Structures are given as structure tokens and as C-alpha cells.
Amino acid sequence: MSAISIGQAVVLGVVEGVTEFLPVSSTGHLKITEGLMGIPVDDTSVIGFTAVIQVGAIAAVLVYFFKDIVRIVSAWGRGLAHREERYHHDYKFAWWVIYATIPIVAVGLAAKPLIEGPLASLWVVAGSLIAGSGVMWVADRTGRHKRGEDDTSLMDTMLVGGSQILALLFPGFSRSGATMSTALFLDLDRVAATRLSFFLGIPALTGAGLYELKDAVGAGVGAAPLVAGTAVSFLVAYASIAWLLKFVARHSFDAFVIYRIIIGVALLGLLATGVLAS
């Protein structure tokens, strides 16, 4: 019998699609939702399932940014073939994304027992939601928002990519929240910070989903729930991406900060009263 039903998979797909690219922690929301539905958050197959349905959200990024991705990959290919093309920003940016993905892959493999064990606790999620809110608020206030996407450098990309480790080790901190906050600290404007977060998420999340696929299927999650969750995640994530880019072009991150604090405090209350098990 599947550890997750099709109905539960659809609900989790919606949660994943809405929250994956918003700076509110998709992992945190998935763990809360799983807890409320009585699904064990530390079960190997459940952890694998949540990683796999992220691929649906990543597919939404690939479709939404298809022209940008083709442009960057084409520039990278031309640079590999012709030395004179290697001065193009898109060629360098492609390599930077690859370099910036290495740290999170290394930490993810080395710290897998911790990530799937003690750090999977909902207490960690609650604390990380609140702590990450403070970081985001400071970043949005102190960043000068004066640099655009074409102004990014190797150092920017490495620092922003490396910040994904915070979300990996502390579910609830938010991968998007960590990367966007770091980009804001580096004085990128909100749209550039958001787009950089998207591009850096493609290899990291796709790799995680493919790596966990064997555990999700082999440990008790059926193919039907996986397909349903991933498909719903794709559709909802596409709409979420379009909305987020329009939102950050005209607003600060204050709404996300407030929301994260409310969810974090509410989660602490649910854990303290025994409504949810950690």
C-alpha cells in the first residue's frame, strides 16, 4: 500500500507548487502539511516523494524561462567551441551556475543522515522560519537594490548559490529566502535577486529529485501519487512564478516576512500543545 495516497499527493503538489519559489520554505510547508495529514515527515519514502515532486516545479521554471535558458546554454556551447565567445556574460554565467551548485551537492551528500534525521524535526522548521524572516527583513532594508542581472559576478553567484546550504540544513529557512536575501545583501535589485534564485534552483532541485526517486518508489510511494503530485506541482508552480516576478517588481518582501513569522509561531504552538508531533 502506498505511503501517500493520490489525494494526499495532489494536496502536497499544490503546496509544493505554491511555495517552492516563494521565500516561505516549501520544505517547511510540506512538512507541516504532512504532519497535519498524519504522514510521517521522517519516513524515507515521504522524504523522497517531496524531493521528486520538486521536479514538477523545476519543470515550470524550465518552461517559463525557456528563452533565457536557450540563450544561456547556446552561449555556453558557443564558448566551448570558440574562444572569442568566452567573454560573453551568458557563457560565464552558465559556468557560474555549475560552480555554485557544487557546494550544495557536496553538503547534501555528506550531511544526508542529519538532513533526513534530527534536522527533519518540525521544531527546526519553526525556528528556521522565524530566523529566516529576520535575515530577509534586514537584507531587504540594507540592500541598495541598484544592481541588475547583467551586473552579477562569479562571487555573487557563488555566495548566493552557497546560501542554499542554509535551507538544506535547516528546513524552514527556505532556499528561495536564503538565495534572495543573500542577493539583496549584495545590492541586487529584487527582480534580479529573484531571477538568480530561479536559475540556481534548476540544477540543485533537479539533481535532488532524481537522486531521491529510487527511495520514493522503492520505499513505498506508488507511481500514481508521484505522477499526480508532480503534475499538480508543475501547473501551480508556473502560476506562482509569474505572480512572484510581478509582485517583487513593485513591492518589498515585508509580506513574506510577516507571513513566515505567523506560520513559525503557529507551528510552535501546535508542537507545544501536541497537536502536531515533531
Provide the grid cell at 48: 523522497
Torsion of CA 87, 91, 95, 97, to 10 degrees: 120
Distance between CA atoms of 248 and 228, rounded to whole angstroms?
30
What's residue 26's pLDDT? 87
Closest listed residue to residue 248, CA positions, set 193, 201, 181 = 193
Distance between CA atoms of 161 and 277, rounded to whole angstroms?
32
Band (1; pLDDT cuts 50, 70, 90): very low
Which whole-number Å values give the CA distances from 79 to 71, 89, 111, 177, 216, in the listed order?
A: 12, 10, 35, 32, 38
Note the pLDDT tens digit of each residue in 181-231. 999 999 999 999 999 999 998 888 888 777 766 666 655 677 888 899 999
Distance between CA atoms of 8 and 12, rounded to whole angstroms?
6
Predicted TM-score (pTM) of this structure:
0.89
Phi then psi for residue 188, to 5 deg, are -70, 150
